[in-house]
Structure 1
Amino acid sequence: MLSGQPADASFSDDVLMGTSIDLPSFWKQERVVAQSSSQTDPITYKEQDSQTLMQRDEETQTDKATEQGFQLLKSYDYQGLVGFLTRAESLVSAQLLQNIRSSAFDGYSVEWEERISATSVAHTLTNPRKDPDVVCTELSWNKTGSVVAASYGRYDHESWCTHRGSVSAWNIARRELDPSMPNFMADTSSCVICLAFHPTIPYILAGGTFAGEVIIWHTNNEEDPVFSVSNSDELSHQEPISKIVWIPTAKRDHYNLVTIANDGKILTWDPSNKLQTPLSGSQLLIGNVPAQFRPKASKSDMGIGGTTIGFPIESRTNYLAGTEGGYIFKCTTTNATQLSIIKRDRAQAPLSLSNPIQLAYTPHLGPIQALSCSPFHRNLFLTCGSDSTLRLYNVLESRPLLTMEPCSSQLYCVQWSPFRPTVLACTGGDGMLYIYDLMHSKSVPVQSYSCTSTSAASASLVTALAFNTKDKQLLATGDSLGAIRVWRLCSSLYTSTISEEHYIQRLGGLGDGTDGGGMGW
Structure 2
Amino acid sequence: MATHLSWHPDGNRKLAVAYSCMEFQRAPKDMNYDSYIWDIENPNKPELTLKSASPLVSLEYNPKDSHILVGGCYNGQITYWDTRKGGQPVELSVIEHSHRDPVYKVIWLQSKTGTECFSTSTDGQVLWWDIRKMSEPTEKLILDITKKGNLDLALGGISLEFEPTIPTKFMVGTEQGMVISCNRKAKTPAEKIVCTYSGHHGPIYAVQRNPFFPKNFLTVGDWVARIWSEDFRESSIMWTKYHSSYLTDAAWSPVRPSVFLTTKMDGTLDVWDYLFKQNNPTLSLKVCDEALYSLCLQDNGRFVACGSKSGLTTLLELSPGLCSIQRNEKNIATAMFERETKREKILEARHREMRLKERSKAEPGKEEDTKDDKAEESMEELIAKAEKEFFEIIEAERKRREQEVKKQDEEGQEKEVSEEKEIHSQV
Shift of residue 413 of structure 1? 0.5
Q: 1:510 to 1:319 in 2, by over 3 A?
A: farther
Distance in structure 1 (CA, Å) of the matches to 2:104 and 2:340: 35
After TM superposition, the structure 1 stretch with the greater mean CA deviation from structure 2, 158-167 or 362-371, is: 158-167
Map of 1:323-472 to 2, 5 A cutoff? 323-335=174-186, 356-385=192-221, 387-398=222-233, 399-405=235-241, 407-452=243-288, 459-469=289-299, 471-472=300-301
Distance in structure 1 (CA, Å) of the matches to 2:241 and 2:71: 31
Q: Return the letter of the residue paired with 2:156.
A: G
Match of 1:184 in 2: 48
Q: Return the letter of the residue paired with 1:481.
A: S
**What are the superposed Cα offsets for residues 386-440 of structure 1, whole Å, 9 maximum, x if unpaired?**
x211111111112101111363111111000111111110101010000001111
Q: 1:157 to 1:501 in 2, by over 3 A?
A: same
Unpaired runs of 5+ residues, structure 2, are: 343-427
Map of 1:93-492 to 2, 5 A cutoff? 135-143=1-9, 144-158=11-25, 163-173=31-41, 177=42, 179-222=43-86, 225-233=88-96, 235-249=97-111, 251=112, 254-273=114-133, 275-288=134-147, 302-335=153-186, 356-385=192-221, 387-398=222-233, 399-405=235-241, 407-452=243-288, 459-469=289-299, 471-492=300-321
Distance in structure 1 (CA, Å) of the matches to 2:279 and 2:213: 21
- Alignment size in residue pairs: 338
Q: Return the letter of the residue paired with 1:207.
A: G
Q: Is the 8 A contact 1:422 1:504 kept in 2?
A: yes
Q: Is the 8 A contact 2:79 2:91 kept in 1?
A: yes
Shift of residue 159 of structure 1? 8.0
Q: Is the 8 A contact 1:327 1:360 kept in 2?
A: yes
Q: Is the 8 A contact 1:287 1:301 kept in 2?
A: no
Map of 1:482-521 to 2, 5 A cutoff? 482-507=311-336, 509=338
Q: Is the 8 A contact 2:52 2:89 kept in 1?
A: no
- Where 1:286 maps in the other structure, the secondary structure is coil
- Where 1:188 maps in the other structure, the secondary structure is coil
- How high is the TM-score relative to the length of structure 1? 0.61
Q: Return the letter of the residue paired with 1:270.
A: D
Q: 1:171 to 1:499 in 2, by over 3 A?
A: same
Distance in structure 1 (CA, Å) of the matches to 2:258 and 2:115: 29
Distance in structure 2 (CA, Å) of the matches to 1:473 and 1:302: 42
Q: Is the 8 A contact 1:406 1:444 kept in 2?
A: no
**What are the superposed Cα offsets for residues 111-165 of structure 1, whole Å, 9 maximum, x if unpaired?**
xxxxxxxxxxxxxxxxxxxxxxxx1101110112220011111222148995432
Higher helix share: 2
Q: Is the 8 A contact 1:407 1:430 kept in 2?
A: no
Distance in structure 1 (CA, Å) of the matches to 2:341 and 2:121: 37
Q: Return the letter of the residue paired with 2:141.
A: S
Unpaired runs of 5+ residues, structure 1, are: 1-134, 290-298, 338-352, 453-458, 514-521
**What are the superposed Cα offsets for residues 436-491 of structure 1, whole Å, 9 maximum, x if unpaired?**
01111122110111111xxxxxx21001100011x432111111111111111110
Larger Rg: 1
CA RMSD of aligned residues (A): 2.4
Distance in structure 1 (CA, Å) of the matches to 2:282 and 2:208: 20
Shift of residue 509 of structure 1? 4.8
Q: Is the 8 A contact 1:164 1:190 kept in 2?
A: no
Q: Return the letter of the residue paired with 1:256.
A: E
- Where 2:281 maps in the other structure, the secondary structure is coil
Identity score, percent:
25
Q: Is the 8 A contact 1:138 1:150 kept in 2?
A: yes
Shift of residue 507 of structure 1? 4.8
Shift of residue 278 of structure 1? 1.2
Distance in structure 1 (CA, Å) of the matches to 2:26 and 2:266: 27
Distance in structure 2 (CA, Å) of the matches to 1:497 and 1:239: 43
- Where 1:220 maps in the other structure, the secondary structure is helix
Distance in structure 1 (CA, Å) of the matches to 2:213 and 2:93: 34
Q: Return the letter of the residue paired with 1:168.
A: Y
- Of structures 1 and 2, the one scoring higher in RCO (CA 8 A, sep 6+) is 1
